[in-house]
């Protein structure tokens, strides 16, 4: 056990020893060890569901380990709540930001603190926070409300929140997942600056290039177990890392056959739309999509991608024209685009894509319950519905006890397979897929990506919205970049330049095309 330190050399900021965390039916962390030296950046790697977030949540005081020892700065700690962890100088930036959208930056930073005791004079604290911003170079308007801020700014608020609490051990959970390449560079500079000022950082990721760019050491988790503990980053290859994370060699290249796109399926012309807050989300977007083509949409979250998917599928009103196979669908009810043959993999699997308390059967017939043989004008033939569901379950390898299992009991990957199975089966001409692989493990990602490519070969036109640039580059024929609702340009995936895409994603460049 290299982690047990009796030598005087640099004291450890964090020492997690033999940690076991159990959820009903799952062993999330299985005797995990992890050390964080003072002043280092330590990368924690693993695929989705490997137990990284769980381990870090236990360090942040949110979960209690069943057994194991946590030491912070050499002292054994026993956290009963996040407050205890905060008092020991631990600050966590969650992947899904923990910010109150209707409160200001300052209010968010002050939440949960003992000071101010009762009256809150925001202007005094605005100044304090500005001073903190100067120190670490994290600019954001303290009196702005969170919902008005960009994702990058919100992340800065999260970091400021931990710093204001005097954190010297920072945990960043997948901080780069939502950022554009240039923003990632900024974040890494910030991380370096923090380490220079004697902070220590634990940094969860699954991207090797980020690890080599910024980390000193790394630890890898797979299925709750440590597969590499605190190794230096020298000489670690991408393949080696992938094997440590997944447990087998994986092929990074997906098998995309070259094929000529066919007729125009989707014609978007001068489309503008508002977001839920009533601000412009899409500005004059025009684009075409052909049969057998995958058109990717790159952009930082919240730049109009979701709204684009919604106007095409009839879930949001807009101005301009949207034609699918020559038929106008703009401002038509969602049923219309379904009839024309538009399938939709929604961003929010549980909130939009499925009915959580209904069975797999009832979820698979969501788009064709009114068509023979499953249903007619009056009734639903549940016998044929069950046959249909069984067929889809077998064909798409949806793992579940039975077809009468409730959708909410499915894992993320199986839920996504269910949605894909349903959508592929019902509406063949155009598929709008929003973040289809987000949060899934490697096996599920492979399965989903192959299904998309299969659809492409069958001649379906696919609009793929994703925040994973790598995914877009490997799957798409063309990539469109969107920034603040405007189309910055469209590039051929084959000769795409990552830097240029990054610049377009942040609005600093517009392609000539």
Return the residues of window 360-379 that contact another protein according to CB under 8 A.
Answer: 362, 365-367, 369-370, 375-379
Cα separation values, 87 from 65, 160, 167, 304, Å: 19, 16, 8, 40
The reply on whether position 157 binds another protein by CB under 8 A is no
> What are residue 16's DSSP bridge partners?
34, 70
Return the number of the residue (21 or 242) whose C-beta is nearest another protein: 21
Least distance from another protein to the Cβ atom of residue 343, Å: 11
The reply on whether position 252 binds another protein by CB under 8 A is no
Per-residue x/- track, 263-282, another protein (CB under 8 A): -------------xxx----
- Can you tell me which of 68, 82, 181, 428 binds another protein, judged by CB under 8 A? 82
The reply on whether position 24 binds another protein by CB under 8 A is yes
The reply on whether position 235 binds another protein by CB under 8 A is no
How many residues make up the chain in this entry? 513
Dist. CA 72–CA 426, nearest whole Å:
55
Least distance from another protein to the Cβ atom of residue 276, Å: 7
- Can you tell me which of 88, 156, 222, 344 binds another protein, judged by CB under 8 A? 344
Dist. CA 183–CA 395, nearest whole Å:
41
- Can you tell me which of 34, 41, 70, 99 binds another protein, judged by CB under 8 A? 99
Cα separation values, 238 from 97, 174, 223, Å: 29, 18, 19
The reply on whether position 437 binds another protein by CB under 8 A is no
Tell me which residues in 376-395 interact with another protein (CB under 8 A). Answer: 376-380, 382
Three-class SS of residue 123? helix
The reply on whether position 302 binds another protein by CB under 8 A is no
Of 295, 314, 304, 298, the residue nearest 273 (C-alpha): 304
Are 367 and 424 in contact by the 8 Å Cβ rule? The answer is no
Tell me which residues in 401-430 interact with another protein (CB under 8 A). Answer: 401, 409
Three-class SS of residue 125? helix
> Which stretch, 220-228, 289-297, 356-364, 438-446, contacts another protein (CB under 8 A)?
356-364
> Which stretch, 181-189, 204-212, 353-361, 498-506, contacts another protein (CB under 8 A)?
353-361
Dist. CA 418–CA 363, nearest whole Å:
8
The reply on whether position 112 binds another protein by CB under 8 A is yes
Least distance from another protein to the Cβ atom of residue 454, Å: 23
Return the number of the residue (249 or 379) whose C-beta is nearest another protein: 379
Are 187 and 506 in contact by the 8 Å Cβ rule? The answer is no
Enumerate residues 6+ apart whose C-beta is below 8 A from 344: 309, 313, 423, 431, 432, 433, 434
Kindly give the pairing relationship between strand 294-298 and strand 280-290: unpaired
In eight-state DSSP terms, residue 44 is E
The reply on whether position 399 binds another protein by CB under 8 A is no
């Amino acid at each position: 056990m290299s982690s047990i330190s009796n030598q005087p050399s640099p004291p450890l900021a964090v020492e997690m020893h033999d940690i076991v965390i159990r959820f009903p039916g799952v062993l999330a962390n299985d005797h995990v060890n992890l050390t964080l030296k003072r002043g280092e950046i330590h990368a924690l790697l693993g695929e989705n569901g490997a137990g990284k977030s769980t381990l870090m949540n236990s360090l942040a005081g949110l979960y209690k380990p069943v057994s194991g020892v946590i030491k912070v700065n050499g002292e054994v700690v026993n956290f009963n709540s996040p407050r205890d962890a905060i008092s020991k100088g631990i600050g966590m930036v969650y992947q899904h930001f923990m910010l109150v959208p209707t409160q200001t930056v300052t209010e968010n930073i002050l939440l949960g603190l003992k000071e101010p005791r009762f009256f809150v004079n925001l202007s005094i604290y605005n100044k304090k926070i500005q001073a903190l911003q100067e120190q670490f170079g994290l600019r954001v308007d303290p009196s702005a409300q969170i919902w008005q801020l960009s994702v990058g700014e919100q992340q800065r608020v999260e970091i400021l929140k931990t710093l204001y609490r005097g954190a010297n051990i920072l945990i960043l959970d997948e901080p780069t997942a939502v950022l554009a390449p240039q923003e990632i560079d900024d974040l890494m500079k910030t991380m370096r600056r923090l380490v220079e000022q004697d902070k220590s950082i634990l940094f969860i990721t699954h991207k090797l290039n980020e690890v080599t760019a910024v980390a000193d050491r790394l630890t890898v988790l797979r299925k709750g177990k440590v597969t590499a503990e605190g190794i230096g980053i020298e000489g670690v290859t991408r393949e080696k890392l992938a094997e440590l994370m997944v447990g087998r060699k994986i092929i990074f290249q997906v098998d995309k056959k070259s094929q000529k796109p066919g007729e125009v399926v989707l014609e978007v012309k001068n489309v503008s739309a508002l977001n839920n807050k009533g601000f412009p989300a899409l500005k004059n977007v025009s684009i075409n999509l052909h049969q057998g083509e995958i058109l990717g949409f790159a952009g930082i979250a919240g730049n109009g991608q979701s709204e684009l998917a919604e106007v095409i599928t009839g879930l949001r009103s807009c101005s301009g024209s949207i034609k699918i196979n020559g038929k106008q669908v703009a401002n038509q009810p969602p049923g219309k685009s379904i009839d024309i043959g538009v399938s939709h993999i929604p961003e929010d699997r549980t909130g939009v894509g499925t009915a959580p308390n209904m069975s797999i059967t009832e979820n698979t017939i969501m788009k064709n319950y009114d068509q023979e043989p499953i249903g007619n004008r009056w009734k639903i033939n549940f016998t044929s519905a069950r046959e249909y569901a069984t067929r889809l379950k077998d064909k798409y390898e949806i793992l579940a006890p039975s077809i009468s299992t409730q959708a909410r009991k499915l894992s993320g990957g199986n839920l996504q397979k269910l949605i894909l199975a349903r959508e592929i089966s019902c509406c063949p001409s155009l598929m709008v897929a929003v973040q289809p692989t987000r949060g899934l493990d490697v096996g599920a990602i492979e399965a989903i990506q192959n299904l998309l490519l299969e659809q492409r070969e069958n001649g379906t036109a696919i609009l793929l919205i994703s925040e994973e640039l790598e995914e877009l580059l490997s799957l798409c024929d063309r990539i469109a970049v969107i920034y603040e609702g405007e189309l910055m340009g469209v590039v051929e995936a084959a000769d795409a330049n990552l830097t240029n895409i990054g610049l377009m994603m942040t609005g600093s460049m517009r392609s000539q095309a």
